[in-house]
Amino acid sequence: MNARRSVVTGVLALLCLAAGAQARIKLVALPERAATVIRLDNPNATLIEEERVLTLQKGLNKVDFSWKGVQIDEDSIRLVSLDHPGDVTLLSISYPPGEAALVWEISSAGDFAETVRISYLLSNIDRLITYKAVANKAETFVDLKSYLVLRNFSGEDFEKARVLLDYGEAFEQGIDHEETKQMLFLNEPNVPVRKIWTFDAAKLPWDPEQLNNQNVGIPVSYEVVNSDKSGLGRFALWGGKARLFQQDGHGSTIFLGEDNASLVPVGEKMELYIGDSRDIVVTQRKMQDAQINLRKNNDGVVVLLDTDEIIKAKIENFKDSPAVLTMVQHIPGQWDMAECNLKYVKKDASTLKFEIELPARTEKGPGVKELTMRYHRRNVRPGQ
Amino acid sequence: MNTHLTDQQLIDYQFDLTSEADAGEARTHLEKCEACRRRLHTLGRKFNALELLRDDVKASRTLLSETIHNAQQAGRWRRLLLHRLPWAGAVAAAVIVGIALLAVPDRGRKDAPTFSTASQPAPETATTGLAEEVPLLAMAPSPAGGKAEDPVRSVPVRAYPETPYGVTTSALADAPGTGQPDAIDDQPPFAPASAIELVVLPRREDVQLTIYNAADLTLVREKRNLTLKRGWNWLQFMWAGTLIDPTSLNLEPLEHKGEVEVQQLVFPPRLRELGRWLIRSEVAGQVPFELTYMTSGLAWRAFYMGTLSQDEKTIRLEAYVRVSNNSGEDYEDAETRLLVGRVHLLERIRELAQRPYPYGGHDVPNYLDRLRRLKLPGGRSVADLSGKDLHGPVAYAMPPKEIQKEGLSEYFLYTIEGTETIPNEWGKRLMSFDADDIPVTSLCKYDEERWGSQTIRFLSFANDAEHKLGETPLPDGMVRVYGRADEQGHLSYVGGMGVKYIPVGEEVELNLGPARLVEVKPVLMDYRTANHTFDTKGEVNGWEEVRTWKIEIANASALPVQVEVTRGFGTPYWTLKLMSGGATYRKHDASHARFELTVPARRTQVFEYEVTTYHGVRQEAASDDNIRTGN
């Protein structure tokens, strides 16, 4: 018996138990646990299942299950008889005072060496997921690795256990108290990746000129689709910290940045923000903002109006490779587009998304694209 | 003299029953021995109390000689009771002797030497060994009601035992060997003569606990066989260290109902957590009594374990109760009944249990208290205040054993089969029922106003026969739901949540928490205003807002899910048009609509609706539209 072993199970022959069971005799034999399962599919609670062989005598048996230094949800403790489920009946469960323990009263139809499965929710044992992605030099593919980090601060040593997530294969692993183990469980080379630059007009300054010699960083992220085509798509990708690296073409890598990924169901995209680019510059200005179709009350005060607005945005690419900039524009309230020189997708009632392909820098200068959109906001109520 | 004086020697010394030489020896020892002085002092105090009565006492010569003779026999008697009462018998005998002696003028009046009035040692009766079991019931025959010529019975004894715990009742009944019993004196004794004589300690025969879960209240009903003497009997009940409500104490004979009468329950002054019943009995011998009282400190709660089938279409529900005992008292082999329901209590039992005076003290005028004081010492009217009449008939009839679950008034009673032993501070988990294959409906709900952007998973079934339940209401408690992970019966934990009390027939909805694999994303795709109206001043006084919403539901789980999306419009004036998608909807309340649809496994579905809200004078139009569209 491991000295640190804190969960202790014992069989009490029924012998001469005094009424009230205060005179509980602590166990006689220590059945070793077998077939332990650590199930980590629920991020809020970890379920432990373990099998033990109890030596039951015909008649009434008292089995003492106690734990020390671990946090077990008492009400979650279950006992299932595996060999003779019909002949072994759990009669009652008692909780002794001031002890982390319980006493099972088991009725057995015969003398059995009975395998039972004990399950309970154990605190302070959990898992984390981390990702490591190494992009090729062209940033078109990544080698995606995912690690399972098993953390055990439960107070209990698990010499050998089957660890189960809600996906993937179960694996054998032992983990001691205060031990943390990082295990590779996903290794997918050549996952297509898309590098995206995003300019959101609601988040970034429009006119770099007014920033007094400061750069505007355009957020850069990598996008991986959790699908078959990417070599993924077998299960949802859990959220966790992701670190991105890039091959530098000299047999080494550089660290690009890191981000927290959120849970990505199958078919969804994982977007990892790695940093800001200063090689793409957006200069956006409102060129016209006029009120039209004024409707006035009897006092001559405007009660309803439309607008006529023009937005212009110049996008310059100083990189020596082409890029696709995602530009997000916002128009609140009711509006209609009068003219727009680039194609957009209406993401929702007030959000427009442009995918703007930027040519690479040439000797003449940066690759440039310009957006011009003219729209009318309708039925605006001044003062509201 | 190195050895301590025996009790007999002390009594002899105290009452000059010994030779001059022996008395001298005893005196010498007492001067040296603190322990013996204390014992003598204890005795002295007891007899002092009796001395107050000296003037009233007219003892017959016969009685005197008889009691003195008895006292001389005390040694033998003591040996008979050796196993339990090392010398209580002797002391008791001494009491008798004492009374007899005091009754004789110029005899036996000798002040006990007062060595110390400080802390009185615990009385030395056999009770120390018994005190572990509280509450303690002990019996002794009453001092009165003995032989007709017994002078003692007319003695208004005011002696109270100063015992912090322990003994019980005192009394003298028919002397052994008396022929036909004479009539019992009409006058009940005012109080037991002393608490020294311990005659019978009745064991608890049966005990039944009715534990409430909505209040800290347990009704305890226990059966005790008391050995009564013909005549007046005092029965003492002590509950130190427990949480018993003394105002709920009730004692009733189960047999000889016409002949055995519980007349009074007295809470003596200066003594805490102790009560004495005065019982008038026409019969001598064992009489079974039922003692009922309420206590706090016992509690039970329900909780459930649900195990979903692999297709998540059925659930196995195991219901448990966990009974815990912190009452200060061990309950052995108790029939345990659990009561579901809200009970109205004026005061908390725990507070009643901890009051210094059962019905409140002097500062708290209490008519019962005053009444008791007024009527004493005397009439039977005080008997009317005994437990039974104070609390009315016992409210809960003992059900036949075979009935396990039954409704009573607004309550529901669960009787646990057989008996349970619940020692103090222990808890016990017992199975209430186990129902398998309960069909369940799994529903994911999305309602921003309640849960923000999370989709919450619910399991629902009804507490009725169709769902293999419905025999009893389900007490409120925590439900832990597990899934079946594989064919080998391995489990996975889905989630836990508290459920409210579910009456028979009502639907149970278990909130399993966020459905991590089902995502509902509503997107406002279009917004416009229309139909502005203006009042005579030209101000806008009415308009409509038209919004197009796209609801995207992604189901990443391996099973199809049913989804319910609740949308609010902020106004009761609205009309709605489904634009696309396979959802159905109904008006949920004035300002909300509910959409339902089923999303296959690992699929995303979208539906769109257009909602028009009406503002200002345009609200009238909404009413018309409602009629038109049957909204």
- The DSSP code sequence of B205-236 is EEEEEEEESSSS-EEEEEEEEEEEPSEEEEEE
pLDDT at res. B173: 38
Residue B91's CB: how many other CB atoms inside 10 A? 27
Backbone conformation region of residue B375, classed left if phi is above 0, alpha if psi is from -120 to 50, else beta: alpha
Residue A322's CB: how many other CB atoms inside 10 A? 12
CA dist A34 to A31, A159, B183, B330, B627, Å? 9, 10, 77, 38, 69
CA dist B298 to B130, B219, B221, B393, B411, Å? 23, 10, 14, 23, 18
**Partners of residue A347 in chain B, C-beta under 8 Å:** 523
C-alpha distance from A21 to closest chain B C-alpha (Å): 8
Beta strand pairing status for B584-589 and B592-599?
Answer: antiparallel
Answer whether B554 sits within 8 Å of A268, measured CB to CB. Answer: yes
Which residue's entry shows tokens 């203006």?
B534
**Partners of residue B491 in chain A, C-beta under 8 Å:** 39, 47, 49, 78, 119
- Number of C-alpha atoms within 13 angstroms, CB side, residue B192? 35
pLDDT tens sequence across B30-86 = 888 888 888 887 776 655 544 433 333 344 455 545 545 554 444 444 333 334 433
Answer whether A92 sits within 8 Å of B324, measured CB to CB. Answer: no
Residue A352, both tokens: 């427009």
**Partners of residue A48 in chain B, C-beta under 8 Å:** none
Residue B621's CB: how many other CB atoms inside 10 A? 18
Which of A82, A92, A347 to mutate to test binding with chain B, by most B CBs within 10 Å of its CB? A92
Which of B325, B491, B561 to mutate to test binding with chain A, by most A CBs within 10 Å of its CB? B491
Of the ranges A4-18, A234-248, B121-135, B202-216, which is most confident? A234-248
Backbone conformation region of residue B629, classed left if phi is above 0, alpha if psi is from -120 to 50, else beta: alpha
- Residue (of A235, A120, A359, A72) closest to B491 by Cα position: A120
CA B238 centroid distance within chain:
17
pLDDT at res. B182: 65
Residue A125: strand pairing partners: A152
Handedness of CA A109, A114, A120, A123 (dihedral sign): positive
pLDDT at res. B145: 39
C-alpha distance from A175 to closest chain B C-alpha (Å): 20
C-alpha distance from A191 to closest chain B C-alpha (Å): 21
Mean pLDDT computed over A147-151: 88
Contact B382, B196 (CB under 8 A): no
Mean pLDDT computed over B444-473: 89
Is pLDDT above 50 for B195? no
Averaged pLDDT of chain A? 84
Residue B321: strand pairing partners: B302, B430
CA dist B70 to B65, B73, B74, B167, B200, Å? 8, 5, 6, 22, 20
- The DSSP code sequence of A104-160 is EEEEESS-EEEEEEEEEEESSEEEEEEEEEEE-TTSSEEEEEEEEEEEE-SS--EEE
CA dist A12 to A24, A65, A93, B284, B428, Å? 8, 10, 14, 47, 18
Answer whether B523 sits within 8 Å of A347, measured CB to CB. Answer: yes
pLDDT tens sequence across A264-317 = 888 888 998 888 888 899 999 999 999 999 999 999 899 999 999 999 999 999
Which residue's entry shows tokens 């005549």?
B231
Mean pLDDT computed over B447-472: 89
Cα–Cα distance for residue pair A14/A57, rounded to 1 Å: 8
What own/partner pairs with CB < 8 Å and gap ≥ 24 does A20-24 have?
A20/B330, A20/B332, A20/B421, A20/B423, A20/B426, A21/A62, A21/A94, A21/A96, A21/A103, A21/B421, A21/B423, A21/B426, A22/B423, A24/A62, A24/A64, A24/A96, A24/A103
Which residue's entry shows tokens 């256990």?
A161
CA dist A52 to A63, A212, B482, Å? 12, 72, 21
CA dist B112 to A213, B108, B529, Å? 108, 11, 106
**Partners of residue B526 in chain A, C-beta under 8 Å:** 349
- The DSSP code sequence of A203-256 is TS-S-GGGGSS-PPPEEEEEEEE-SGGGT--SSPBPPEEEEEEEE-SSS-EEEE
- Residue (of B513, B504, B516) closest to B480 by Cα position: B513
Which residue's entry shows tokens 């009350």?
A297
Residue B375's CB: how many other CB atoms inside 10 A? 16
Which of the 8 DSSP states describes residue B153? Answer: G
Cα–Cα distance for residue pair A237/A245, rounded to 1 Å: 19
- The DSSP code sequence of A290-331 is EEEEEEE-TTS-EEEEEEEEEEEEEEEE-SSS-EEEEEEEE-
Rounded to the nearest 5 percent, the helix, strand and coil shares of chain A are 5, 60, 40
Instruction: Choose the closest CB to A266 out of B534, B540, B602.
Output: B602
Answer whether A379 sits within 8 Å of B543, measured CB to CB. Answer: yes
Instruction: Choose the closest CB to B421 out of A19, A75, A93.
Output: A19
pLDDT at res. A131: 92
Which of B425, B492, B599 to mutate to test binding with chain A, by most A CBs within 10 Å of its CB? B492
pLDDT at res. B568: 93
Helix or strand (DSSP H, E) at A281: strand A280-296
Handedness of CA B401, B403, B407, B412 (dihedral sign): positive
Instruction: Choose the closest CB to B425 out of A43, A98, A267.
Output: A98
Beta strand pairing status for B204-212 and B331-340?
Answer: parallel
Answer whether B554 sits within 8 Å of A164, measured CB to CB. Answer: no
pLDDT tens sequence across A42-76 = 878 899 998 888 888 888 888 888 888 888 888 89
pLDDT tens sequence across B232-250 = 888 888 887 888 888 888 8
pLDDT at res. A53: 86
Answer whether B420 sits within 8 Å of A45, measured CB to CB. Answer: no
Taking CA atoms, what residue in A is nearest to B547?
A349
Answer whether B492 sits within 8 Å of A95, measured CB to CB. Answer: no
**Partners of residue B529 in chain A, C-beta under 8 Å:** 334, 378-379
Higher pLDDT, B155 or B270: B270
pLDDT tens sequence across A84-127 = 888 888 888 888 888 888 888 888 888 888 888 999 999 888 88
Q: In what order do the strands lie in the sheet with A158-164?
A: A78-81, A112-122, A46-56, A33-39, A158-164, A171-175
Q: In what order do the strands lie in the sheet with A280-296?
A: A280-296, A302-317, A367-377, A335-340
Say whether B95 sits in a helix, a strand or coil: helix
Answer whether B493 sits within 8 Å of A80, measured CB to CB. Answer: no
pLDDT tens sequence across B101-120 = 333 333 333 333 333 333 33
Interface A–B counts its CB contacts (< 8 A) at 137
Which of the 8 DSSP states describes residue A27? Answer: P
Calculate ∠ Cα A190-A194-A200, nearest 5°.
Answer: 160
Taking CA atoms, what residue in B is nearest to A336?
B528
Mean pLDDT computed over B249-264: 86
Contacts of B585 by beta carbon, 8 Å cutoff, 6+ apart: B576, B578, B593, B594, B595, B596, B609
Answer whether A19 sits within 8 Å of B424, measured CB to CB. Answer: no
C-alpha distance from B279 to closest chain A C-alpha (Å): 33
Cα–Cα distance for residue pair A188/A185, rounded to 1 Å: 10
Answer whether A75 sits within 8 Å of B303, measured CB to CB. Answer: yes
Cis peptide before B522 (omega within 30 of 0): no
Contact B484, B430 (CB under 8 A): no
Contacts of B393 by beta carbon, 8 Å cutoff, 6+ apart: none
C-alpha distance from B201 to closest chain A C-alpha (Å): 20
- Residue (of B270, B190, B281) closest to B233 by Cα position: B281
Instruction: Choose the closest CB to A94 out of B426, B513, B532.
Output: B426
Taking CA atoms, what residue in B is nearest to A265?
B556
**Partners of residue A47 in chain B, C-beta under 8 Å:** 482, 491-493
Is pLDDT above 70 for B587? yes
Taking CA atoms, what residue in B is nearest to A122?
B493
Residue B14, both tokens: 């105290």
Which residue's entry shows tokens 């408690």?
B477
Is pLDDT above 60 for B97? no
CA dist B358 to A227, B271, B294, B569, Å? 75, 11, 13, 60
Is pLDDT above 50 for A255? yes
Residue A275, both tokens: 């940093």
Say whether B68 sits in a helix, a strand or coil: helix
Cis peptide before B423 (omega within 30 of 0): no
pLDDT at res. B249: 87
Handedness of CA A169, A170, A172, A177 (dihedral sign): positive
Residue B298, both tokens: 């016992």
Which of A348, A352, A376 to mutate to test binding with chain B, by most B CBs within 10 Å of its CB? A348
ipTM: 0.76
Taking CA atoms, what residue in A is nearest to B318?
A78
Residue A203's CB: how many other CB atoms inside 10 A? 10
Is pLDDT above 70 for B192? no
pLDDT at res. B193: 56
